[in-house]
Amino acid sequence: MKLHERIEGRLREFVDRQPMFFVATAPLAADGHVNVSPRGIPGTFAVLDDHTFAWLDGTGSGSETVAHLRENGRITVMFCAFEGAPNIVRFHGTGRVVTRYDDEYPALAARFTDVPGARAVIVVDVERVSDSCGWGVPLMSYEGERDLVGPYFERKGEAGQREYRRRKNRTSIDGLPAYDVDPVDTPAT
């Protein structure tokens, strides 16, 4: 393993080429569930500068990352090569959730491809950058994207997306507050 001062050069090029990455977070409680999530919709993640990584967070079946970041901020982001030379890159840092209702959201979200159901931008202040061999990672071929989540949330519309998040994203599996910022829709008068 090698530590790096910043995300630059070959590390940044490696990250930019990857079709997906993994995010790991955990609650403070020792009996809480550690969460690992894959991410990889094209155009929704990027290195913003030498010490900042971010992604457009879409609505999903859960909200563990949001809950854990709200509670303690700890996060690890991992990229690994499934093609070419073996390599694993990890960013350890502190993450924060910028919801679609926050003033900072439009400027951050503009850096990414617009995705139906986007609920936040996750910004990671990277404190530790490392890379190591990926000898244990299998070689696999990239076949393409699954075009399911976009059309699903597009059909729901904005009100349907908010309702989905209120039903499935308000708390984590451990009961922590998660994505609980959607306003309650009021009937038109």
Query: How far apart are the C-alpha atoms of 147 and 119, rounded to whole Å?
Result: 18
**Confidence (pLDDT) at 153:** 97
Over range 101-107, report the average pLDDT: 98
pLDDT digits (tens, 9 = 90+) for 112-135: 999 999 999 999 999 999 999 999
pLDDT digits (tens, 9 = 90+) for 77-97: 999 999 999 999 999 999 999
